[in-house]
Amino acid sequence: MSDFFTFSDPNVRLVTAGTILLGISAAIVGTFTFLRKRALVGDAIAHAILPGVCLSFMITGEKHPAYLLVGAVLAGWLSLLVMDYLSSRTKLSTDTAIGAVLSVFFGAGILLLTSIQHSGSANQAGLDQFLFGKAAAMTQRDIWVFSGVAVVLLGLVLAFFRSFKLISFDPAFAKSIGLPVRRLEFLLSTITVLAVATGIQAVGVVLMAALLITPAAAARFWTDRIQVMILLAAAFGLLSGLFGSWISYTAPSMPTGPWIVVLLSMIAVVSVVVAPKRGIWARLRLQRSNARKIRQENILKAFYGIGEAADAPVATVAVDMLRQQRPFEDIALQLGLRELVKKGLLHKHKPGSYALTPTGLQESRRVVRLHRLWELYLTERMNYAADHVHNTAEAIEHVITPEVEAALLRELDHPILDPHDAVIPYQNPSKPSAS
């Protein structure tokens, strides 16, 4: 491992640097592909490039990277034109057009590849590596050409960043202020084709879409700012390129390209799970905290209900009384009671017997108040029948924020009774009671 990371071997240094650069440029260009919702198009372009590469080899008889790039770009562009034509001029839907172009071009590419391999050309060795990439087998000349292209692409994206952002977000507005939208889209598409054409050196035609789209998709989970998103996507491209090269260096039978994609996928999976706010983990936690809140507030409500029925604040309440008041699940009830004691809203007298603390009493009044306010709002303002509002209010009482509560109080003018003639409890019971 240390061998690799000292980068003392100039060849390792070069291959790694090249791979990283290709990864970064694909990730940054891919951010716009992702934001314009054209991920599938990116995949189709990557596959469609294969026949171009094969043809340029058949014509020139050489594997010079510049020739291969020209072939790749021409084929990529042709595929874009065909997709556009099919979806705008025929009755085929866009996804059909993309699928058709992908498979027809790729099929043609495989056909050409097979015929090259059977032609016995001395120079043909390694052409099939376009399928899955050949990062470690890149020659110095390859690396210089492809890295050069990658740097140019990065420069272009940087220079046109503002315009690309606008045409990705709102192309109609961009056109209305006179931006040359068609030409900018042409430029962005060409950049994408070039990024794909260079990227397939690292990961190959089949996996290219992953290098283009996955970094952006993963980055989107972490941020709401396009600038941060692009930097994150670039960082993901960099990391996967670096560690992909490292793995194939330490375990020589391991291919670089597939490893890069595996690493990117791992980054994406981690992002989907742990990213704040958008991640699965964050959503689960939010749901759990909602469930906790509902559990606790229902118990508080039961305490209030018992006190209300007795027409006097009850000193202590046995757990059995709570069960009679409301059909709690046993585990939830025990859990909720413990949480409430911990929060200082309940006071445990002896095993199986609890009392509300002063804050607990306030809190129980609040929940009941929200329930009854919402019932009143539904009957008074939304014309629901009084016997139809309870179940809705059972759910809504837990979501209402202090701002909404204030709005409800204003709207209903601090009402005294709910639709079932129960008293709405206020924080400082200064309002005259109904009885």
- Kindly state whether residue 277 participates in binding another protein, applying the rule CB under 8 A: no
Number of residues near another protein (by CB under 8 A): 26
What element of type H or E holds 350? strand 346-350
Which of residues 95, 170, 320, 329 is near another protein by CB under 8 A? 170
Find the shortest distance in angstroms from Cβ 338 to another protein.
36
Part in contact with another protein (CB under 8 A); list of ranges 125-133, 159-167, 189-197, 281-289? 159-167
Find the shortest distance in angstroms from Cβ 392 to another protein.
22
User: CA-CA distance, 197 to 73, in Å (whole number)?
Assistant: 7
- Kindly state whether residue 179 participates in binding another protein, applying the rule CB under 8 A: yes
User: CA-CA distance, 37 to 168, in Å (whole number)?
Assistant: 9
Q: Report the Cα–Cα distance between both ends of the chain, in Å, rounded.
A: 82
Part in contact with another protein (CB under 8 A); list of ranges 99-107, 225-233, 323-331, 418-426? 225-233
Q: 4 vs 32, which CB is nearer to another protein?
A: 32
Q: 93 vs 359, which CB is nearer to another protein?
A: 93
Which of residues 35, 235, 254, 319 is near another protein by CB under 8 A? 35
Part in contact with another protein (CB under 8 A); list of ranges 138-146, 168-176, 331-339, 370-378? 168-176
Which of residues 169, 276, 349, 411 is near another protein by CB under 8 A? 169
Find the shortest distance in angstroms from Cβ 240 to another protein.
22
Q: Which amino acid is at 77?
A: W
User: CA-CA distance, 206 to 50, in Å (whole number)?
Assistant: 10
Part in contact with another protein (CB under 8 A); list of ranges 190-198, 200-208, 220-228, 385-393? 220-228
- Kindly state whether residue 3 participates in binding another protein, applying the rule CB under 8 A: no
- Kindly state whether residue 226 participates in binding another protein, applying the rule CB under 8 A: yes
3-state secondary structure of 131: coil
- Kindly state whether residue 225 participates in binding another protein, applying the rule CB under 8 A: yes
User: CA-CA distance, 30 to 192, in Å (whole number)?
Assistant: 7
- Kindly state whether residue 163 participates in binding another protein, applying the rule CB under 8 A: yes
Fill in the DSSP letter of residue 348.
Answer: E
Paired sense of beta strands 317-318 and 346-350, if any: unpaired
User: CA-CA distance, 271 to 263, in Å (whole number)?
Assistant: 12
User: CA-CA distance, 82 to 87, in Å (whole number)?
Assistant: 9
What residues have CB less than 8 Å from 141, skipping those under 6 apart?
A: 64, 65
User: CA-CA distance, 281 to 285, in Å (whole number)?
Assistant: 6
User: CA-CA distance, 306 to 308, in Å (whole number)?
Assistant: 5
User: CA-CA distance, 434 to 415, in Å (whole number)?
Assistant: 11
Per-residue tokens: 346: 């309940």
Which of residues 107, 180, 276, 344 is near another protein by CB under 8 A? 180
- Kindly state whether residue 122 participates in binding another protein, applying the rule CB under 8 A: no
Part in contact with another protein (CB under 8 A); list of ranges 92-100, 104-112, 170-178, 344-352? 170-178
> How many Cβ atoms sit within 10 Å of the Cβ of residue 189?
20
User: Footprint of another protein on this chain (CB under 8 A)?
Assistant: 35, 37, 159-160, 162-163, 165-166, 168-170, 172-180, 220, 223-226, 229
